[in-house]
A = this chain, B = another copy of it.
Amino acid sequence: MPDTATPGVAPIALDAMGGDHAPDEIVAGAVQAVRQHGIPIVLVGSPRPVYEALSRHDATAEIPIVRAEEVLKMDEGALASLRRPRSSIAVACHLVRRGDASAVVSAGSTAGIVATGKLRLRSQQGVLRPAIAVALPTRPTPSVLLDAGANAEVKPEMLVQFAHLGSAYAETALDIEKPRVGLLTIGSEPEKGNKLVRRAHELLSAASGLDFAGNVEGHDLLTKVADVIVTDGFTGNVALKTIEGSVRYAFTELRETIEESRAARLGGLLQRRRLRELHRRLDPEEHGGAVLLGLNGTVVIAHGASRAQGVSAACVLAARISRQGVVARIGERLTAAHRPHRLWRSSAPGTHGTDAPV
């Protein structure tokens, strides 16, 4: 049942060539996004295989294709994006830049998407470094972790900016009022951690427009002690993948435990449906992916292993983010943070509109 369709909204530019299962699963995800969620999609990639995949869903009339001659391979790094100005991800960015698409979605190589996005969409004014934000499955609302891998080396002032990027994301896409910001480190006292984190702690404590809640540790990532958790891209990526690995590990151990005994197996049968639901909620595929914040346009990075369901979820996420005006909200926050007198503290409720996508 289409519930998010808005007439006249620019489509999502979906990179048909990125990901382990491109183009077939990407196209299947596009069909699902259109038919189940009413999200307009344009597929960017090599016309023939994409058209053939669309035919198998009888969807050639529903989803247009934009030609891109080149493909950024999964193992190609940042430099390749310079050498391939007509890659599917570069063309998708170009569509957003021209206003012909509202957001980019790709399941391609993260390094390639980040490099291409920075080159083709450019950073927003005042943004030192775009960062990758992921929504962790905390309750009642998700927590935003960033940077999850765009910047392996950062400076303390970048962590303060990440706090603004993440707060803007939490306020708009996740509807969290006055998000609390935590700094990921290895002890709760301000003097704990490494040089980067100690200096960032000072800057965050003094920053205006942020609700800084202090240090958080690895075991706090899923306990909702903060709405936004900032860290460098190296630590953030290790932490994110450790969460994924640990949850997968706990479920595997659990399944084996269930299968070991007959009585327990009976119990397991009774629970199978609920376990599946839980697993789905924790599965990164289902979250829709990571968001590259700080560019002049919305870019969603789907998991490289995404199948149709994950691709569709990424398109839903991209449509929501673009509709909620995260880009504009980041602009407002950074402008306010740089005002010389720093009178601004935080937005009055309701003042940040939900600006429509281009």
Q: Residues of A at under 8 Å CB distance from B?
A: 75, 77, 111, 149, 152-153, 184-187, 189, 191, 193-195, 197, 217-223, 231, 233-235, 237-251, 253-254, 257-258, 260-261, 263-264, 266-271, 274-275, 277-278, 281-282
Question: With A and B bound together, what is the CA distance between A278 and B254 in angstroms?
Answer: 7
A271 and B275 contact, CB distance less than 8 A: no
B278 and A253 contact, CB distance less than 8 A: yes
Select from chain B the residue with minimum beta-carbon distance to A239: B242
Question: With A and B bound together, what is the CA distance between A193 and B241 in angstroms?
Answer: 14
A234 and B267 contact, CB distance less than 8 A: no
Q: Which of A111, A193, A243, A246 has the most CB of B within 10 A?
A: A246
Question: With A and B bound together, what is the CA distance between A278 and B194 in angstroms?
Answer: 35
A257 and B277 contact, CB distance less than 8 A: yes
Question: Which of B75, B221, B263 is A242 in contact with, Cβ under 8 Å?
Answer: B221
Question: With A and B bound together, what is the CA distance between A243 and B248 in angstroms?
Answer: 11
Given known contacts A153-B195, A194-B152, A257 and B241 CB-to-CB distance under 8 angstroms: no
Question: With A and B bound together, what is the CA distance between A242 and B269 in angstroms?
Answer: 30
Question: With A and B bound together, what is the CA distance between A245 and B138 in angstroms?
Answer: 12
Complex contacts, A223 vs chain B, CB 8 Å: 245, 249
Q: List 18 A-B contacts (CB under 8 A).
A: A152-B193, A153-B195, A184-B238, A218-B243, A219-B241, A223-B249, A239-B239, A242-B246, A246-B246, A250-B250, A250-B251, A250-B282, A254-B275, A254-B278, A257-B271, A260-B274, A261-B274, A267-B267
Determine how close the nearest CB of chain B comes to the CB of A25; give it in whole angstroms.
21
Complex contacts, A257 vs chain B, CB 8 Å: 271, 274-275, 277-278
Complex contacts, A217 vs chain B, CB 8 Å: 237-238, 241
Q: 6 closest Cβ contacts across the A-B interface?
A: A218-B241, A267-B267, A219-B245, A246-B246, A267-B270, A250-B250
Complex contacts, A218 vs chain B, CB 8 Å: 237-245
Determine how close the nearest CB of chain B comes to the CB of A71; give it in whole angstroms.
19
Complex contacts, A186 vs chain B, CB 8 Å: 149, 152, 233-234, 237-238, 241
Determine how close the nearest CB of chain B comes to the CB of A288; give it in whole angstroms.
19
